[in-house]
Amino acid sequence: MASLKRLLVGSPIRTARLAHERLTKKTALAVFSSDALSSTAYATEEILLVLAAAYVWGGQAHAFSRVIPITIGIASLLIIVAISYRQTIHEYPSGGGAYIVAKDNLGTLPGLIAGASLLVDYILTVSVSVAAGVAAITSVFVGTRWAWLDEHRVAFCLFFIAFIAIANLRGVRESGALFAGPTYAFIVTFLFMLAYGLIRYYLNPGIVPPPNDVDLQVAEGYQAGPLTLFLLLGAFSNGCAALTGIEAISNGIPAFKQPEADNAAKTLTWMAALLATMFIGTSAMAYLYNIHPHQHETVISQFGRIIFTGYFSWFYYLVQITTAAILVLAANTSFADFPRLSSLLARDRFLPRQFANRGDRLVFSNGIVLLAVFSGILVWAFRGETSRLIPLYAVGVFLSFTLSQAGMVVHWWHKGKALRAAAESPADEAKAEKASHWRKSIVINGIGAIATCVVLFVFIATKFIHGAWVVVLLVPLLVLMFLKIHRHYVDVAQQLSTEGLGQLRPIHHEVIVPISGIHRGVIAALEYAKSIAPHHVTAVYVNLDDETTQKVREKWEQWGSGVNLVVVASPYRSLLRPLLNYVDRVKRSSHGEVVTIVLPEFVPAKWWQNLLHNHNSLFLKGALLFKRGVVVTNVPYHLEH
């Protein structure tokens, strides 16, 4: 076991190396932006899937053209959110996730709501990204004799999740090194594909094929119908999946090299610019090239097949591979953020404390494992299909966006008040200038909060019945769990507090030695028992068989060395029950003195030998654990071979 773990995750790393495990801007862009950027691989398609409901209704052939205004709308929202978050980064350089910002400025409950939403969405990010990545791979094989690979998508998804989890258990620096290559390969390849598509279209518009409606797919849960505002909002909601992951950087500032905040803000700007470009580009190409959403092939794959022909067809495969790679690795963003957020929650005692500890590779191992398990379950439950997962997705993220921006508004308000108070003292120009600065900031974050809040309501209106209800239900349940855990920890701390405790008291002992016969192990236990309470030791023997009991009594004369032997009856041949009853009797008559059970136990030399002995002492220990005022002492007797 231990050596398998070493092989997979490597040898332990010293705590002292913690400070050195930091990322450069370039590496950080790779680690934190893969989620956001990779969503370009499916966001356009998810919009088209909803518009398809109007397209198949007939007379709505122009329905797909609405992808352009919707995409521009989402890109605008993206820019608002990014600007909003830049402010957060500077104000919370030690990591300004929605949980911290909301908790600091709005209170614990909003903080926990933000935290729960994010945890849920991190799990979904892993599932959605991995599912889309696998779809990119299986798309390549459409129409070939490898098309059956599509049936095994769940297995592929689970394999990739396990792969990323292990990479992350190895530690954050190594993850960065692992993921930088694919991310940059994707960015370059994808941008080139868009540019090439655009150029070919203008040089030779005849390249565009007629629309292909074989295998046309409509978003799950949508019926053919007219192109209503509600449908457009549904398409917009689906497309907003593109925005998830934009907050990753603000959660992960401490992983940046110094100066952390500046580097993080610059990286965020780059990420937003790239995302907007790629997303708008993809939607534009889908529109120009008449691409409709298909059951077994992604939109990107269809587009790639059209433009890369002849000598260039190998480029199609390159696009699919890098898309798959970035999608599968996009899940990595969550593997950086989920454990970090759960460690924050654990440190504030809202999650089990095991999540607060760094494992021996300096990463929060428990959080990584938990994320892998839950996202695996989701992928399995939704059969690895991206479009089934999308309605659950992004709801949590936008809830946390709203809470975080609203928190920033309150933050600026308080900061401004302090500055105004300071500015009232005369002749403090610098502070007065800063005081005017907060007004601008409050407006920026205010716009962010309002925009994301409106979108959140659009989500709930359009996606609720398609799956968003799961998230709406889950977040309050998680918050309740957080609160219950917190109450327990506070309670324990109070009960264990030394507050009001007097000086140490002397203890009076009463010692019981349960014996199964008379042998060296028992003698050793008796010696020990007499050493801690010379005149208060009793040996207890359970009578399972009169004959054997008589023999034990006789031997006791020689070996008991004056210790009182009590024989208890056991009509049902049980060992435990009579012993426990006896302990209860002694406890009642000892008036609050400590009763110590000294258990003789022999330890076999080889593990398999344990199978040859009954484990009564183990069961006894388990049962005694729940008796107050009973101390259990194990006196082991080690066998030689």
Site for its own copies in 581-610 (CB under 8 A): 594, 596, 602-604, 609
Using alpha carbons only, give the angle 433, 436, 437 rounded to the nearest 5 degrees: 90
Contact flag: residue 20 with its own copies (CB under 8 A) = no
Contact flag: residue 432 with its own copies (CB under 8 A) = no
Contact flag: residue 1 with its own copies (CB under 8 A) = no
According to CB under 8 A, which one of 527, 548, 551, 554 is a site residue for its own copies?
527
Tell me how far apart the alpha carbons of residues 620 and 514 are, in angstroms, rounded to a whole number.
10
Least Å distance, CB 614 to its own copies, is 6
Judged by CB under 8 A, the chain residues 164 through 183 that form the site for its own copies are: none
Nearer residue to its own copies within complex by CB, 190 or 374: 374
Least Å distance, CB 413 to its own copies, is 33
Q: How far is CA 475 from the centre of its chain?
A: 14
Tell me how far apart the alpha carbons of residues 526 and 637 are, in angstroms, rounded to a whole number.
12
Contact flag: residue 292 with its own copies (CB under 8 A) = no
According to CB under 8 A, which one of 3, 14, 311, 547 is a site residue for its own copies?
14
Least Å distance, CB 547 to its own copies, is 13
User: What is the end-to-end Cα distance of the chain in Å, rounded?
Assistant: 24
The Cα-based distances of 146 to 137, 317, 319, 624 in angstroms read 11, 15, 19, 61
**Residue 472 tokens, joined:** 């709406």
Give the number of other Cβ atoms within 10 Å of residue 415's Cβ. 17
Return the closest-CA partner of residue 59 out of 198, 227, 221, 208: 227
- Backbone φ, ψ for residue 394 (5° rounding): 75, -15
Nearer residue to its own copies within complex by CB, 210 or 506: 506
Of 64-72, 182-190, 210-218, 527-535, the window that binds its own copies (rule: CB under 8 A) is 527-535
Provide CB contacts within 8 A for 48, sequence distance 6+.
Answer: 64, 67, 235, 286, 291, 292, 293, 299
Nearer residue to its own copies within complex by CB, 202 or 626: 626
CB-based contact 235:391 (threshold 8 Å): no
Nearer residue to its own copies within complex by CB, 41 or 597: 597
Nearer residue to its own copies within complex by CB, 12 or 476: 12
Nearer residue to its own copies within complex by CB, 91 or 593: 593
| β 594-603/630-638 pair status | parallel
Judged by CB under 8 A, the chain residues 302 through 331 that form the site for its own copies are: none
Least Å distance, CB 422 to its own copies, is 32
DSSP type of residue 507? -
Contact flag: residue 2 with its own copies (CB under 8 A) = no
Of 161-169, 387-395, 460-468, 633-641, the window that binds its own copies (rule: CB under 8 A) is 633-641
Strand partners, 493: none
CB-based contact 536:511 (threshold 8 Å): yes
User: Scanning the structure block, which residue is given the tokens 């709930």?
Assistant: 460
Judged by CB under 8 A, the chain residues 352 through 381 that form the site for its own copies are: 352-354, 357-358, 360
According to CB under 8 A, which one of 521, 552, 579, 595 is a site residue for its own copies?
521
Nearer residue to its own copies within complex by CB, 312 or 559: 559
Provide CB contacts within 8 A for 344, sequence distance 6+.
Answer: 95, 97, 99, 100, 115
- Backbone φ, ψ for residue 308 (5° rounding): -95, 100
Least Å distance, CB 21 to its own copies, is 14
> x/- binding map, residues 470-499, to its own copies, per CB under 8 A?
---------------x--xx-xxx-xxxx-
- Backbone φ, ψ for residue 602 (5° rounding): -100, 140
- Fill in the amino acid letter for 244: T
Nearer residue to its own copies within complex by CB, 206 or 500: 500
The residue count for binding its own copies (CB under 8 A) is 74
Residue 432, judged by CB atoms within 10 A of its CB (0-12, 13-18, 19+), counts as middle
HEC profile for 204-248?
A: CHHHCCCCCCCCECCCCCCCCCCCCHHHHHHHHHHHHHHHCCCCH
Least Å distance, CB 375 to its own copies, is 21
Nearer residue to its own copies within complex by CB, 121 or 348: 348
Contact flag: residue 3 with its own copies (CB under 8 A) = no
Of 39-47, 158-166, 210-218, 630-638, the window that binds its own copies (rule: CB under 8 A) is 630-638
Contact flag: residue 345 with its own copies (CB under 8 A) = no
CA atoms within 13 A on the CB side of 356: 10
Q: Phi/psi class of residue 221: alpha, beta or left (left: φ > 0; alpha: ψ in -120 to 50)?
A: left
Q: What radius of gyration do the chain's Cα atoms show?
A: 33
Least Å distance, CB 570 to its own copies, is 8
Least Å distance, CB 364 to its own copies, is 12
User: Scanning the structure block, which residue is given the tokens 């008559």?
Assistant: 589
The residue ranges of DSSP E strands in 423-534, in sequence order, are 509-515
Of 8-16, 117-125, 200-208, 394-402, the window that binds its own copies (rule: CB under 8 A) is 8-16
Nearer residue to its own copies within complex by CB, 108 or 516: 516
Tell me how far apart the alpha carbons of residues 401 and 448 are, in angstroms, rounded to a whole number.
8
Dihedral of the alpha carbons of 364, 370, 374, 376, in degrees to the nearest 10: 80
Of 172-180, 249-257, 460-468, 629-637, the window that binds its own copies (rule: CB under 8 A) is 629-637
According to CB under 8 A, which one of 147, 614, 619, 622 is a site residue for its own copies?
614
Contact flag: residue 214 with its own copies (CB under 8 A) = no
Contact flag: residue 623 with its own copies (CB under 8 A) = no
According to CB under 8 A, which one of 7, 214, 427, 504 is a site residue for its own copies?
504
Least Å distance, CB 586 to its own copies, is 17
Judged by CB under 8 A, the chain residues 541 through 570 that form the site for its own copies are: 544, 555, 559, 561, 570
- What is the full DSSP assignment across 127-140? HHHHHHHHHHHHHH
Least Å distance, CB 624 to its own copies, is 9
According to CB under 8 A, which one of 13, 261, 406, 515 is a site residue for its own copies?
13
Of 237-245, 319-327, 336-344, 516-524, the window that binds its own copies (rule: CB under 8 A) is 516-524
- Fill in the amino acid letter for 101: V
Tell me how far apart the alpha carbons of residues 292 and 223 are, in angstroms, rounded to a whole number.
17
According to CB under 8 A, which one of 509, 549, 567, 580 is a site residue for its own copies?
509
Nearer residue to its own copies within complex by CB, 429 or 546: 546
